[in-house]
């Protein structure tokens, strides 16, 4: 074997060895990164995704919170929302979440929300306290018109905002809108009200109180039956 052949073999051997070592190091690095363990991390937002890139969960502070989406499209632009966790289904619709905030100026809130498929929330466990110190907490249930999906509602809200209404004012208008029946109607609340009555409060399909079973703020047990206008027609506890 001549000198030239020996040099070629040595170079080939060296290059092969280098490639093998590099592959081994990179493979170990990738494995280490894939299963990396952190004792503590500090972030403003975490996006949990599926292997196909679909968004499943967002954990975020207030400034970077997800504004909501439907069919993978953002609905409300840069809508400001509290810190917490937002959940999404396989069709990239928002389906609920956990949100919380609190300060002396605006009051405080903690909400666990469950959304009906293709619409808005139908159930919430929540705690609300206003800046006057009055609180309300419990579980709230709603009926939703399934024909009014979130994109339809979002367009109506956007139209109302262009007329000068705030987001909250626009939402109030939507809640009162009727097409045969209410687009959204409160159906039942189980918990403590802002006037310190604790019990079960049931509404009809129009959102009007029809039955109340509660203990009032003077510790008196009450059972009230109400008419279609919300007027008490029978107080069973007083009979």
Domain assignments of the chain as residue spans, ordered by start: 1-37, 45-194
End-to-end CA distance of the chain: 116
Eight-state DSSP code of residue 133: S
Q: Which residue has 């189980």 as its token pair?
A: 190
Q: For the residues 113-125, what does the mean pLDDT come to?
A: 95
Q: Which two tokens stand for residue 95?
A: 């389906």
User: pTM (2 decimals)?
Assistant: 0.78
Mean pLDDT of the residues in the chain: 87
Nearest to 208 by CA among 232, 190, 192, 191: 232
Non-local CB neighbours of 131 within 8 Å, separated by 6+ positions:
104, 105, 106, 107
Name the helix (H) or strand (E) containing 130: none
Q: Is the pLDDT of residue 91 over 90?
A: yes
């Amino acid at each position: 074997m001549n000198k030239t052949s020996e040099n070629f073999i040595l170079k080939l051997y060296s290059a092969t060895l280098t490639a093998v070592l590099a592959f081994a190091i990179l493979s170990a690095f990738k494995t280490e990164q894939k299963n990396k363990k952190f004792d503590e991390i500090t972030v403003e937002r975490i996006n949990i995704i599926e292997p196909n890139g679909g968004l499943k969960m967002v954990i975020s502070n207030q400034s970077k919170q997800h504004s909501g989406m439907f069919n993978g499209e953002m609905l409300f632009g840069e809508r400001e929302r509290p810190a917490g966790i937002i959940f999404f289904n396989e069709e990239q619709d928002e389906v609920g979440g956990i949100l919380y905030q609190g300060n002396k100026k605006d009051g405080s809130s903690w909400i666990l929300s469950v959304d009906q498929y293709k619409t808005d929330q139908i159930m919430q466990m929540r705690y609300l306290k206003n800046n006057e110190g009055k609180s309300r907490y419990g579980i709230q249930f709603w009926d939703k018109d399934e024909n009014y999906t979130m994109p339809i509602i979002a367009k109506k809200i956007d139209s109302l905002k262009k007329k000068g209404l705030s987001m909250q004012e626009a939402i109030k208008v939507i809640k009162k809108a009727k097409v045969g029946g209410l687009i959204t109607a409160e159906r039942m609340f189980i918990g403590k009200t802002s006037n310190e009555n604790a019990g079960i409060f049931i509404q009809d399909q129009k959102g009007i109180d029809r039955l109340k079973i509660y203990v009032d703020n003077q510790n008196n047990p009450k059972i009230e039956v109400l008419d279609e206008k919300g007027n008490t027609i029978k107080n069973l506890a007083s009979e």
